[in-house]
Amino acid sequence: MTVGWEYKQLGIVCENLDSKRVPITKSKRLSGPIPYYGASGVVDHVADYLFDEDLLLVSEDGANLLARTYPIAFSISGKTWVNNHAHVLRFEDMDSQRFIEYYLNSISLEPYVSGMAQPKLNQKSLNSITVPFPPLTEQKRIVAILDEAFAGIDAAVANTEKNLANARELFESYLNAIFTQKGDGWVEKKLGDIGATQTGSTPKTSNKANYGNYIPFIKPADFEQGGSLDYENQGLSEEGLTSARKVVAGSTLMVCIGATIGKCGWSDRDVTTNQQINTLTPAAGVSHKFIYYQMRTVNFQSRVLSNAGQATLPIINKSKWNALTVWLPKSICDQNSIVDKLDTLQTETQLLESIYQQKLETLAELKQSILQKAFAGELTALPEKTLEEAVA
């Protein structure tokens, strides 16, 4: 134990105000300027308030208690309303509140959470969490260092996320421009007129002999970034292939039902697919990757959705899919030239994305490293060089 530090249960260092929470169903909320908080933050705005002070909210339920994709503890101030999905904690001073906020966001709550399908952190478990509690002067010092460090890190994260979005937008803009502007001599053709189309099928899952490693069996989850496919998931056996429909190498694939409708890809080997996927095997003179890239455009995707029925489970049937049109240069050489340019730009874009994603991971790791030092009593001052290198 660090000299001068105590370790106490959370319920001892703060006052729990859960009994003052009041949930309001959406139909009964009166719209207004007051933020209405739930487990993950503001979920609405209402006309009245329950609290008017500095408080710490802690998620009571939800998958984020375990996933931790965003903070589970967050400070609020002023006039607010809180529903029954967030615990409400009052501290004697703001420094203690911020210190505990940082601490709760730095630790795993798995030992305190009940239920995996519906994770819940009940009040008794919350109050039982053991927290470090140094003297107030030390809390102030640590919070000041963390605030300064995290402000720099958060700014770097925001800038990196912006660069990541810009890289993706640059590629998408170039992609859409090619197929919007088109070229001299391009012709419009229906999918059904430029090759063989088919919808996949699923062999009986009750017959285990249908499944094996003889040929890949592609499902919507197997579509990867850049249009490539994951061939390593469950495949079919030779027996299973007799109940399926083979798609030969050099085909274009699109998900035509469900939440990922419009997702597309291309195959560089023979595969089979399930019934959620339509495929086009182009005739001679048509590049399957040229069609793939065109299917990714805003124009084509919007036509897929406009031809899909049922909003809850969108689906575009094979006949409507066959009737969708694409534009083609008459020369396969021109198609391949465009594909080469798009392949090159996509590779460069993916490299940039990888760099930016790595930087985001480094920044997240730096945050955790700083927090671990802070709550182990090892945070003296953040070396400027460490932060400068991370945010550069």
> What's the token pair of residue 290?
């040229």
Query: Is 178 domain-assigned?
Result: no
Decide if pLDDT at 138 tops 60.
yes
pLDDT for the residue 388: 60
Q: How far is CA 339 from the centre of its chain?
A: 28
- Answer yes or no: do 219 and 111 share one domain: no
Decide if pLDDT at 385 tops 60.
no
- Answer yes or no: do 195 and 274 share one domain: yes
Banded model confidence at residue 380, pLDDT cuts 50, 70, 90: confident
> What's the token pair of residue 314?
């969108």
- Answer yes or no: do 218 and 85 share one domain: no
Do 305 and 314 contact (CB within 8 A), yes or no? yes
Give alpha helix (H) positions in the chain. Answer: 10-13, 64-67, 94-104, 123-128, 136-181, 238-241, 288-295, 298-306, 318-323, 332-374, 384-391
Task: Look at residues 93, 108, 134 and tell me which one is the last residue of a structural domain.
Answer: 134
pLDDT for the residue 384: 57
Beta-sheet strand order (sheet of 211-212): 211-212, 235-236, 215-218, 271-273, 246-247
DSSP assignment letter at 112: G
Q: Mean of the pLDDT values across residues 59-86?
A: 94
Query: Is 44 domain-assigned?
Result: yes
Q: What's the pTM value of the predicted model, to 2 decimals?
A: 0.77
Q: Which amino acid is at 153?
A: I
Can you tell me the distance from the alpha carbon of 231 to that of 266, in angstroms, rounded to the nearest whole number?
12
Can you tell me the distance from the alpha carbon of 249 to that of 220, in angstroms, rounded to the nearest whole number?
18
Task: Look at residues 96, 111, 134 and tell me which one is the last residue of a structural domain.
Answer: 134
Query: Is 167 domain-assigned?
Result: no
Number of compact structural domains in the chain: 2
pLDDT for the residue 116: 74
Query: Is 124 domain-assigned?
Result: yes
DSSP assignment letter at 50: S
- Answer yes or no: do 287 and 199 share one domain: yes
Query: Is 152 domain-assigned?
Result: no
| Residues above pLDDT 70, as percent of the chain | 96
Decide if pLDDT at 352 tops 60.
yes
46 lies in which domain range?
Answer: 6-134
CATH number at residue 235: 3.90.220.20
Decide if pLDDT at 130 tops 80.
yes
Mean pLDDT taken over the chain = 93
> What's the token pair of residue 272?
């089979």
Task: Look at residues 294, 312, 328 and tell me which one is the last residue of a structural domain.
Answer: 328
Do 291 and 236 contact (CB within 8 A), yes or no? no
Do 37 and 43 contact (CB within 8 A), yes or no? yes
- Answer yes or no: do 298 and 196 share one domain: yes
1-49 confidence digits (pLDDT tens): 678 899 999 999 999 999 999 999 999 999 999 999 999 999 999 999 9
276-320 confidence digits (pLDDT tens): 999 999 999 999 999 999 999 999 999 999 998 776 789 999 999
Query: Is 387 domain-assigned?
Result: no
Banded model confidence at residue 381, pLDDT cuts 50, 70, 90: low
- Answer yes or no: do 205 and 300 share one domain: yes
pLDDT for the residue 282: 97
pLDDT for the residue 69: 87
> Which residues, at least 6 apart from 181, have a Cβ–Cβ distance to it below 8 Å?
none
Query: Is 143 domain-assigned?
Result: no
- Answer yes or no: do 309 and 235 share one domain: yes
The phi, psi pair for 365, rounded to 5°, reads -65, -40
- Answer yes or no: do 214 and 294 share one domain: yes
Q: Mean of the pLDDT values across residues 216-220?
A: 96
pLDDT for the residue 379: 80
- Answer yes or no: do 203 and 319 share one domain: yes
Banded model confidence at residue 391, pLDDT cuts 50, 70, 90: low
- Answer yes or no: do 193 and 316 share one domain: yes
- Answer yes or no: do 210 and 113 share one domain: no
- Answer yes or no: do 97 and 223 share one domain: no
Query: Is 360 domain-assigned?
Result: no
Banded model confidence at residue 383, pLDDT cuts 50, 70, 90: low
